[in-house]
Amino acid sequence: MLIVHSDATRDRRTLTELFAGQLVAPFECPERVDYIIERARTESIGEIRGPDEHGLEPVLAIHDADYIDFLRVAWRDWQAAGYEGEAIPNIWPTRRMPGGPIPRHIEGRLGYYALAGETSLNADTFEAALLSKDIALTAVDQVLDSGAPAFALCRPPGHHAARDQYGGYCFINNVAVSAQRALDRGHQRVAILDIDFHHGNGTQDIFYERSDVLTLSLHGDPMDEFPYFLGFANETGRGEGEGYNVNYPLPSGTDYARWAQALDDAIARVRDFAPDMLIIALGVDTFENDPISSFTLQSDDYLDIGARLKRIGLPTLFVMEGGYAVEEIGVNAINVLKGFDNA
């Protein structure tokens, strides 16, 4: 299986994350991809190649242009305001606040465009986000051109990025940009199956009123888990998109047997939809020892996940999402690919 990756994904290393009332070293760090690449080479899973540049046009097909411009200038404006630390939002438009103009000051714009306060911006953020979407687009082109599966080893991840908001370590929604690429190149229907521990709230936001993309997400119950507020079972789409968004909120402590039941139901829905292509938002933070999740999947379970996905029988793109800096992230991510290849 082709793996698309760039060592330059390591360039974005933020120093601060707001977690449990403290500023800590971010869980989303360069070591995540180091573990995965090391395991891919140990297992000889396939060729590793760098991405091609794709410009902003595919991004603007999904994301609001003013939001992307904000990402481009945020660090410059933060520094121009005289701030020395990393850019972290601290004020948001809240319930009952009337909608007004987007603030001029960078502090206000950060809050306007942020969906959460844990994700810091630094000098490398925008370029890292652009590189990550190039990785995804290069991989999706490989699938479209050859029919063979590919793995986009993206960093930063993307599934929390909405049309005009960032958060959850995500800035550009890589799976959404990839799905739109497939549609623009002639596919009629694409399915996105998100198996990250955290709900793919940004992906849901982007496609919630569309019927050409089926979005499905298996995740921790948003009553108790980030990103909260979205991801409930009664969120099924709106207008033309009614019936094309499917959520599987699962309780803390979910083991593989219960999780796999939800996966099987999602697979059945994918088959009923009969898409031209399947995109997997591959999070392995469902692992029992992941530092910011509460499911109990074990490393061997990821082999079975890959095998189940292969049996769907569709051209498939894997896009890396969550799974944090424990060494098993490499084992678990590559086990999904091995299970897929060997099924």
Contacts for 83 with CB less than 8 Å, ≥ 6 apart? none
Q: Domain extents for the chain? A: 2-63+124-342
Across 297-301, 307-311, 325-329, least confident range: 325-329
| Residue 160 is a catalytic residue | yes
Q: Looking at the domain covering 2-63+124-342, what would its CATH class be?
A: alpha beta
pTM over 0.95: yes
User: pLDDT tens digit string along 75-97?
Assistant: 999 999 999 999 999 999 988 88
User: pLDDT tens digit string along 93-144?
Assistant: 988 887 789 999 999 999 999 999 999 999 999 999 999 999 999 999 999 9
Q: In this structure, what DSSP letter does residue 9 have?
A: G
Rounded to whole angstroms, the Cα distance separating 121 from 125 reads 6
Q: How many helices (H) and strands (E) does the chain have?
A: 10, 10
Res 169 pLDDT > 90:
yes
- The tokens for 26 are 């971010």
Res 325 pLDDT > 90:
no
* Catalytically annotated residue among 5, 63, 160, 198: 160
Rounded to whole angstroms, the Cα distance separating 296 from 108 reads 39
